[in-house]
Structure 1
């Protein structure tokens, strides 16, 4: 006797569904959870690697990614923060959708050492494109206020003596990136170790996409309202024209009737 195993008709559909969901996710068809909104990015005016004054307003309308570095850093900056930002720059430049919509910013936490010329040389060592990646520096007080009260990532500066050398400056700076949307709101403050360059760029794409979608939505809504007003005007005009024509015709009939009556009275008088 042969034993036949009946296949469930549900299994193929489950397989198709799983594959479809995977494709939709890969193509952005399934909406991801919106990035949180923390607080507004701080207003500042600092100096860039070319000696130009740069303000928060210069980044208005763009999504920007910020990290905090200093050129004398022996480990985290050259090994983690700078290579990751360089990779982000590479990915951004390869995506035409992000052209002109993204800004990368590295803020120095060591203003005594990191002059604009020093920052410029440091940026070149990591292939920084000055049109996309800006290096900024302020005074010591501006830097402390910016990190502690503005971006709220904290900053600790201290000095220690090494046994075999003169005084050594040690700066415990934040190893976080800060993601800011086009409206100037902070949308992410993750530790660098929690995010890859690819993940940062994907979040930037989402924020850029939302900005474009929002703009199109506003224009579309405005267009629909104008069209609706036009339809109402046309409808009002159509109602007024026939109604006005009917009234004129009715008025003409009354005049004709009045003329006939007058003619009859005239005939009676002549008789």
Structure 2
């Protein structure tokens, strides 16, 4: 319960920050497109080099030309991360079936905020459980700290002395980036129309259909 409460607190802290960052796109004139996402103009994202699930070094610019769904979490997460990823990747699977050419332009990415436990081998098993196209990334604690800062992600390992296990509280920030690596909008994993049910209406699917061109 403590980890869940902290997670909610971090989300409440992070989302106003994101709103302020996105606000820099407003007020610059009356010609702003209504088709811009809430994160258009936000200073989220920066070049990085991390390690993928196969132990290969991967750069942010390696994904240039593709829309990027980026989710920060960790493999030992007991509740929020697996539910969010399930919702995102189930919607992505449906999107693949309906619009295969457009889905090919999208790269889903999972970035661990628990590099001490999330080795490439661990991340590989975890990512594969959700979708074969989901890429898992990890790195050194220093690398992850920098990426989290650049992507406006807050996290904190709740370690107790002598405890072998621990939780990592983190902000809930499922982002969509455009093919140039610019932030577009938050993926609506919290929308009531996004249940963990492949047969139900899906806000994430509608989101992908709206933004991926």
TM-score by length of 2: 0.70
Show the 5 A alignment for 1:69-108.
69-78=73-82, 80-94=83-97, 95-108=99-112
Structure 2's unaligned 5+ residue stretches are 1-32, 196-201
Asked whether the equivalents of residues 67 and 106 of structure 2 are also in contact (C-alpha less than 8 Å), the reply is yes
Structure 1 residues 165-204: aligned runs within 5 Å? 166-189=163-186, 192-194=189-191, 196=194, 198-204=202-208
Partner Cα distance (1:63, 1:183) in 2: 8
Cα distance in 2 for partners of 1:199, 1:34 equals: 17
Look up the SS of the partner of 1:91 in the other structure.
helix
Instruction: Name stretches of at least 5 consecutive residues in structure 1 with no aligned partner.
Output: 1-30, 210-271
How many residues align? The count is: 171
Deviating runs (4+, > 6 A) in structure 1? none
- Alpha-carbon distance in structure 2 between the residues aligned to 1:125 and 1:40: 28
Alignment correspondent of 2:69 = 65
Map Cα deviations across residues 64-101 of structure 1 (whole Å, 9 max, x no partner). Answer: 111112111122123x2221132133123212241421
- SS in structure 2 of the partner of residue 160 of structure 1: coil
Report the CA distance between 1:187 and its aligned residue. 1.3
* Aligned CA distance change for structure 1 residues 183 and 207 (closer, same or farther; 3 Å): farther
Query: What is residue 122 of structure 1 aligned with on the other side?
Result: 126
C-alpha contact 2:188 2:207 (8 A) present in aligned 1: no
Q: 1:160-239 to 2 correspondence within 5 Å?
A: 160=160, 166-189=163-186, 192-194=189-191, 196=194, 198-209=202-213
Post-superposition CA distance 1:80-125 (Å, at most 9, x none)? 2221132133123212241421010011111111111111111233
Match of 1:34 in 2: 36
Change (3 A) 1:173 1:146: same
Larger helix proportion, structure 1 or 2?
1
For the residue of structure 1 that corresponds to 2:166, the secondary structure is strand
Residue 183 of structure 1: CA displacement? 1.6
Contact 1:178/1:186 (<8 A) preserved: yes
Q: In the aligned structure 2, how far is the partner of 1:61 from the partner of 1:199? A: 25
Distance 1:175 1:201, change over 3 A: same
Q: Provide the alpha-carbon RMSD of the alignment.
A: 2.4
Distance change >3 Å, CA 201–CA 62, structure 1 → 2: farther
Alpha-carbon distance in 2 for matches of 1:207, 1:32: 12
| Distance 1:143-1:191 versus aligned 2 partners, 3 A rule | farther
* Alignment partners' CA distance in 1, 2:127 and 2:62: 20
